[in-house]
Amino acid sequence: MSHNLISDQKTRLSAVLWIIDHEPNQPIPSKVFKSLAQDPLAYQQLSSAYDKAIAAHPEWTASLISVAADMDSSFGHGDRGMARFAQAIEAHPKDAILRNNACWARATKNIELDKAMIDCDAAISLQPEGGFFDSRGLVHLQRGEWAAAISDYDAALAKMPQLNTSRFGRGIAETHLGKADEAKSDLAAARLANSKIDETFVGYGLKP
């Protein structure tokens, strides 16, 4: 993204605000928000911009809430991000993608895992997609529920065989259960597909 190459913070902020106003459904990397996190006024402007975008585009509620919550967390306002999800879910309780995204946001940050499980269970009940099983698998990993994690990752890979996050997560669970050969195979396959996957899971607080 072009604004990610801009060194001047004021110009970068203007670029991000332009994207939120004109192309709100375009994802913005966390590192961009984190690069602006020293400016409290930037948070106020970005939060207001996302509030307006979410109100103006109900068809994109799930994706916009997810990016806005990531922005909140990047600025040290993770509670605000979770509140966004709670408000949106209250208004759209049968939005499976929204429920999954709320689960994923908590699982990746290893917070409020009971609430994460409730949302993942709801998402899978509404729409049993492979990616939703992957999200719930991560919740199980964070809770140290290795067998349950493997079960969910098996379900995810049955639907999406190339899902390297599920293969890597399953490898972590297999490692903890002493399934060395299976773990070695899964971890190697995931690393072959994504050379930075270890770094991704370390960001979640997890490693084989």
| pLDDT at 6 (0 to 100) | 52
pLDDT in tens, 19-52: 999 999 888 988 899 889 888 889 999 999 999 9
What pTM does this model have? 0.86
Helix locations, 96-196, DSSP H: 96-109, 113-126, 130-142, 146-159, 164-176, 180-193
pLDDT in tens, 95-117: 999 999 999 999 999 999 999 99
Mean pLDDT value across residues 57-68: 91
Tokens of 133: 């099983």
The per-residue b/e assignment along 146-181, b for 16 or more CB within 10 angstroms, e otherwise, is bebbbbbbebbbeebeebbbbbbbbbbbbbbeebee
